[in-house]
Amino acid sequence: MIDVDLFADRLAARFGLSLTSEQNVDSDHSYVSLRVGGIDAPNGFRVNITLGWRSAEASFVPDTFASGLIKTLCADESKRRLEFASLSSAFTSTGTKCVARIDERTADLSALPEGKWNRFELNCSRLTDKSDAQHDAEEVGGACLALLLSLLPTEEDEVETSSLGQGLPEGALTRVAVNRYERRPANRAAAIAAHGATCIACGFDFALFYGVIGEGFIEVHHRTPVSNMGGSYVIDPVKDLVPLCSNCHQMVHREDPPINAEELRAILAERGVIHMDNKAS
């Protein structure tokens, strides 16, 4: 069985978005539906998750009047098509099969067709042993939602303020440029799906420490500084992004360029703070 509230909370933490979910039953089966806050019916979409005998599946279900959304999903921007390809590859590597159909034809995920789409279908599935239905539902639901979000344009924030600038007195503010690399929820979700929500440097798990409120929470670090990425750079969420707790994330950024997470882990091990099996001592 799936805990519907926990399902939404964990994926909300993974994506950094407001999500709602509910249990539904029709004449054939029961399923959990997931919806992004702010994209409301009847003009948006939901992701339906069903659990079978040996499989878990998630499918894109557009609302009745979602023709405008389908037009938006059309990959008329090469960057979005490349991001979709990178994400589908990342989820495949974690055991989730992704299949898209455009206008009744199976699409090549590495090269989505250009031009107008009249119909778009997306299904993500994985084989299961029924030992952890919650995890299986989160993986397929997260993959399906991430792929959909990669095809939607995202609003870019120009600046944000932070009191954590290196070398600044307490309370001082520094302006930090933020672009789509930092704000792309699909990339963040794919990285957590690949690496988990445990800090790869110190092993900290927010859920174990804080309980339910910490479920799925982790920060995501760019191995390549965002400032070094050109406008055409496409994130590989498995290779380029890693999960770090808030403390470790700040520590790697104490240097410029940032030190890598493995180097920080070695420092912690040398100090006896952790063992090299990544468990805190």
pLDDT digits (tens, 9 = 90+) for 224-277: 876 676 667 788 899 999 999 999 999 999 988 899 999 999 999 999 888 766
How confident is the prediction for the chain on average, in pLDDT?
84
What confidence score (pLDDT) does residue 179 get?
A: 36
Question: Topology of 4-150 in CATH?
Answer: Yope Regulator; Chain: A, (3.30.1460)
DSSP string, 186-236: HHHHHHHHHH-SS-TTT---HHHHHGGGGTT--EEEESS-GGG--TT----
Q: Mean pLDDT across the stretch 198-210?
A: 95
- Residue 161: is its pLDDT beyond 80? no
What confidence score (pLDDT) does residue 67 get?
A: 87
Domain with CATH 3.30.1460 in the chain: 4-150
139/273: higher pLDDT: 139
What confidence score (pLDDT) does residue 224 get?
A: 80
What confidence score (pLDDT) does residue 177 get?
A: 32
Whole-Å CA distances, 243 to 104, 130, 196, 218, 227: 38, 27, 7, 6, 19
Whole-Å CA distances, 202 to 221, 246, 253, 261, 281: 14, 11, 15, 9, 10
What confidence score (pLDDT) does residue 185 get?
A: 87
Q: State how far the Cα of 174 lies from the Cα of 184, in Å rounded to an integer.
A: 22
Angle between helices 133-150 and 4-15 (to 10 degrees): 40
What confidence score (pLDDT) does residue 77 get?
A: 75
User: Which band of pLDDT confidence, cut at 50, 70 and 90, is reported for residue 280?
Assistant: very low
Q: Mean pLDDT across the stretch 210-237?
A: 83
69/21: higher pLDDT: 21
225/145: higher pLDDT: 145
What confidence score (pLDDT) does residue 158 get?
A: 37
Buried b (16+ CB within 10 A) or exposed e, 76-101: eeeebbbbbbbbbbbbeeeebbbebe
